[in-house]
Amino acid sequence: MAGLMRSRAVRAVIVLAVIVLAVIASGAGLAPKAFAQGATDYPIPSSAKEAFSPIGEGFESPIDPREDLKGPKHYVDPREARLKAERYERMPNAPAFFRDTEIRANSRTYWFGEDDFGFDEPEALTTGGSLSYKSGYIADFFQLRGVLYTTQPLYANAFAGDTENLTSDGDQITTLGQINGRMKFAGQDLVVGRQLVRTPWINPYDVRMIPLTFEGIVLVPEHKAGQKLDYIASYLTQYKPRDTAEFEAFSNGLDVAQDEGVLVNGVSYHGTAWNVGVANYWIKDTLNTAYGEIDYMLPFGGGEGEPSFRVGINTLDQRTVGADLIPGAPYETYQASARIVASYRSFVFTGSVSQTGDEADIQKPFGFSTSYTAMIVTNFDQASVRAYLLQASYDFERLGLEGVRFHVAWGKGDGTPDAANGDFANQDELDLRFVYEPHRGRLQGLRVELEYVDWQVFDAGLPSDDLTQFRAIVNYSVPLL
């Protein structure tokens, strides 16, 4: 009886969230563009310890954007363990390359609509997902990995190309976004080919149908439980934007015709309470980006039923380099931010502030923002903008509703509208986010997300001060082998 009551309560909460967000969206107008910037592909935290830290996630080349995340609580998928046991029983003497092969299907259906400051109103309903393959190791040294991605339009209006869930012409996308060889030796992992890369400034940023993927060579330490030191040495030649099947040079993503890749170096330390690290990204004749962060869990509270607190500061520095081919060069700019996170009994509250330099906006086409004031659409990273952000979330598992989480955030930015920031200075944003993701039972593998955004920009001479978005995403992941 108790299980039946919890099941009905979960359905009631989902229906209520759908109704509330749909009513808000219908009153505000719908459609999308290439604005979404915040780290919304990261799970909603249920404690200060689970809050997202760019340097806290370290450096990695995962096959899935959420694979081996360090912050959120980990859940065991019994379906994978069952398939593995069946393989070992069926092929006890087979080579590990075949016996340990894993194949997983990830489906995604996505409604995305935006009213773009009174201009176009793109809308699209898309479906698709990915099929991933990961072999076992040959001689405990070499592994093959690959992922095929696709997004297919079920409905698309004339402006659907602006959603970034389809091509710029509103057509389907099918692409081999990952195909790589992974080698482990002397405690190192070396990955060569098309792959996902997780670092503070370059990362999958999985908020559309297809994540950002990259091509190149990545060296990171072989990740083990309790590992404290993390680092990366990498040269990436190309990346694949979300709205195309083709890869292009990193410099092209910054409006530079010359084809250049990016040299990536970074190191971080992860202790019981500390996450500290730096990373640097150099693109010849274009841009250098340096990032540093100190993240600390305060040494009191944190036990069951006790409050916990976390503080952090970070800064991202960008400056043009070499021949200064990037538009607007030469310039130097930065975005610095600080935050405090407090949690108590599944409530999480965050307050953060940031300041952006006045010479240029922050450039970040290769991942989500590193700023603590990052939201779903704006990160307050326009030139000269000062910002503060308040956010709260709650995990309903304490009430017996496993997998149900809600997040609300409001941020405000102020600055001087000018040519450097395109008059996008004085602004505020409201975000609402609802997630249902059960981690046990017959619905394991399902993730339903609803998001509503209202971004207001003042004194910019636009037909309307408002950009509004509504998104509904249904994901389902199932291991096949």
- The model's confidence at residue 6, banded by pLDDT at 50, 70 and 90, is very low
Percentage above 90 pLDDT, the chain: 79
Higher-pLDDT residue of 72, 334: 334
pLDDT of residue 38: 53
> How far is the CA of 230 from the CAs of 60, 294, 372, 430, 453, in angstroms?
9, 15, 22, 35, 35
- Average pLDDT in the 440-457 region? 94
pLDDT in tens, 388-399: 999 999 999 989
Burial class (CB in 10 A: 0-12, 13-18, 19+), 12: exposed
pLDDT of residue 368: 93
pLDDT at 24 over 60: no
Cα Rg of the chain, angstroms: 22
Higher-pLDDT residue of 13, 96: 96
Tokens of 41: 């592909």
pLDDT of residue 417: 84
* Cα distance between residue 267 and residue 269, in whole Å: 7
pLDDT at 222 over 90: yes
pLDDT of residue 228: 93
Higher-pLDDT residue of 1, 166: 166
* Cα distance between residue 137 and residue 135, in whole Å: 6
Sign of the C-alpha dihedral computed for residues 275, 277, 283 and 289 taken in this order = positive
pLDDT of residue 280: 98
- The model's confidence at residue 20, banded by pLDDT at 50, 70 and 90, is very low
- The model's confidence at residue 194, banded by pLDDT at 50, 70 and 90, is very high
Domains of the chain, start order: 2-479 (2.40.160.10)
> Is the pTM higher than 0.85?
yes
pLDDT of residue 441: 87
Phi, psi of 88 (to 5 degrees): -65, -35
Higher-pLDDT residue of 14, 476: 476
pLDDT at 34 over 50: no
- Average pLDDT in the 143-156 region? 98
pLDDT at 22 over 60: no
pLDDT in tens, 259-308: 999 999 999 999 999 999 999 999 999 999 999 999 999 998 777 778 99
Which residue is it, tokens 């019981």? Answer: 272
